[in-house]
Amino acid sequence: MKKIKPSLIGFLQAFGVIAYCVLIALLFNFLGKAALQPPGILGFAAILVILVFSAAVTGSIVFGYPAYLFFSKGKIKEPLLILAFTMLYCLIILAVIAIAYLAIGLVNKNKQPACTMDAKLCPDGSYVGRIGPNCEFAPCPGETAEWLAIKRAIYNCEVETVGQYHSLEVFARLKNGGTLDAVEPSIDDIVDVAREAEEKCGEIPIMTE
In a domain, 15, yes or no: yes
In a domain, 60, yes or no: yes
In a domain, 59, yes or no: yes
CA distances from 199 to 118, 155, 174, 195 (A): 21, 10, 18, 8
Q: What is the CA radius of gyration of the chain?
A: 29
In a domain, 63, yes or no: yes
If one counts the domains in the chain, the total is: 2
CB 132 within 8 A of CB 112: yes
147 and 76 both lie in a single domain: no
Handedness of CA 33, 38, 40, 45 (dihedral sign): positive
CA distance 5 to 75: 14
Instruction: Point out the domain boundary residue: 110, 125, 155.
Output: 110
Q: Which domain holds residue 153?
A: 142-208
13 and 82 both lie in a single domain: yes
98 and 158 both lie in a single domain: no
37 and 89 both lie in a single domain: yes
Q: Identify the H or E element spanning 16.
A: helix 6-34
CA distance 27 to 29: 5
CA distances from 170 to 35, 126, 164, 182, 199 (A): 36, 23, 4, 5, 22
In a domain, 134, yes or no: no
In a domain, 126, yes or no: no
50-94 pLDDT, tens digit each = 999 999 999 999 999 999 999 998 899 999 999 999 999 999 999
pLDDT band at residue 38 using 50, 70 and 90 as cut-offs: low
CA distance 167 to 152: 22
Identify the CATH number of the domain in which residue 189 sits: 3.30.720.210
Q: Identify the H or E element spanning 169.
A: strand 169-174
Question: What residue type is 53 in one-letter code?
Answer: F
* pLDDT exceeds cutoff 80 at 113: no
Annotate 62-111 with DSSP letters as a single string.
HHHHHHHHHHHH--SHHHHHHHHHHHHHHHHHHHHHHHHHHHHHHHHHHP
* pLDDT exceeds cutoff 70 at 209: no
In a domain, 132, yes or no: no
11 and 105 both lie in a single domain: yes
* pLDDT exceeds cutoff 90 at 13: yes
Instruction: Point out the domain boundary residue: 110, 127, 150.
Output: 110
157 and 103 both lie in a single domain: no
169-186 pLDDT, tens digit each = 899 999 888 899 988 887
